[in-house]
């Protein structure tokens, strides 16, 4: 790996330039798709260098260095484990401790929120660059996705320690649980890309995002499992992420059997296809919205 100052010095050469015209980018759908894929492929190397630069800037002057990437997840796990002493309802007949249930759900929520916030701020974070150059947005999206994937890997390592502490056995279908975390990461990225143009144009989004994500996850089976036929169970069913969260739990440490394996395979196969399609749509939205965001910054 290059020294920190070399990585940071490379940042001035990362951005590729594009040219915009007054013609609508959707006037030729095939051309729009071809140009999008071309920009995506040519942005891989700049995105990698942006990812290294971001890590360098984050940990360059800290005494613990990259260990700070592990510390937040570890501290949160300890607080949730020690602090939760109430006899909350647990899943699978009470065989899973409520502290473990809450920590597992918290990692799911953090994965989604971090991915969403990273992509939501891509326009706001480079407003000064967009006013000076016409930069490809794919480099920033890929760099943010790589950073979120790195953070997810750190969370999974800490989560493995939580499994050992509570002696919760992994289900035979646990690889599907990793797929579930990947889907949550993709959906968080898509949600951030959907909000990115609006976040750059309206300050209201920034104010709402200070509290809304945690209100949203309070209405999902993240911290407490709902008893059947209760008001909380009804609220959970209305949350679009509840089924994904429950399936991720089931695949990771839930019931075993051929029926469970078949249901997980079907659910996550369809889910990956659907979430990838949603991700593509939100990516296209950012490409189309970028000239309008730049115009707004110039006013």
Is the pLDDT assigned to residue 227 strictly greater than 70? yes
CA dist., res. 90 & res. 115, Å (int)? 28
Determine the pLDDT at residue 16.
42
Model pTM score: 0.72
pLDDT of residue 211: 76
Residue 30 has pLDDT above 80, yes or no: no
Q: 52-63: string of b/e by CB count within 10 Å (b at 16+)?
A: bbbbbeebeeee
CB atoms within 10 A of CB 156: 15
Dmax (CA) of the chain: 62
Tell me the pLDDT band of 140, cut-offs 50, 70 and 90: confident
Model confidence over 192-221: pLDDT tens digits?
999 988 887 776 777 777 778 877 887 888
Tokens representing residue 6 in the block: 């070399």
Which residues, other chains included, contact 298 with Cβ-Cβ below 8 Å and sequence gap of 6+? Answer: 131
């Amino acid at each position: 790996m290059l020294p920190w100052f070399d990585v940071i010095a490379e940042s001035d050469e990362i951005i590729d330039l594009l040219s915009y015209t007054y013609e609508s980018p959707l006037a030729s759908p095939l051309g729009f798709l071809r140009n999008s894929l071309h920009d995506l492929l040519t942005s891989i190397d700049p995105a990698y260098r942006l990812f290294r630069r971001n890590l360098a800037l984050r940990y360059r002057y800290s005494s613990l260095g990259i260990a700070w990437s592990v510390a937040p997840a570890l501290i949160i796990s300890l607080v949730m484990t020690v602090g939760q002493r109430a006899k909350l309802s647990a899943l699978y007949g009470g065989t899973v401790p409520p502290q473990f249930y809450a920590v597992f759900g918290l990692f799911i929520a953090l994965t989604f929120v971090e991915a969403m916030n990273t992509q939501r701020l891509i326009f706001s974070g480079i407003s000064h660059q967009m006013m000076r150059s016409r930069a490809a947005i794919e480099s920033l999206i890929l760099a943010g996705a790589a950073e979120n994937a790195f953070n997810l890997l750190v969370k999974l390592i800490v989560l493995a320690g939580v499994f050992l502490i509570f002696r919760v056995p992994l289900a035979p279908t646990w690889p599907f649980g990793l797929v579930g975390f990947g889907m949550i990461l993709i959906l968080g990225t898509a949600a951030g890309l959907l909000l990115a143009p609006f976040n750059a144009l309206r300050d209201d989004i920034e104010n709402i995002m200070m509290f809304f994500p945690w209100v949203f996850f309070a209405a999902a089976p993240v911290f407490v499992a709902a008893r059947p036929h209760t008001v909380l169970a009804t609220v959970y069913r209305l949350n679009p992420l509840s089924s994904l969260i429950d399936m991720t739990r089931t695949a990771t440490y839930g019931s075993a059997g051929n029926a469970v394996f078949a249901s997980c395979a079907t659910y996550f196969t369809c889910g990956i296809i659907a979430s990838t399609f949603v991700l593509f749509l939100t990516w296209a939205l950012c490409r189309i919205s970028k000239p309008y965001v730049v115009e707004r910054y110039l006013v």
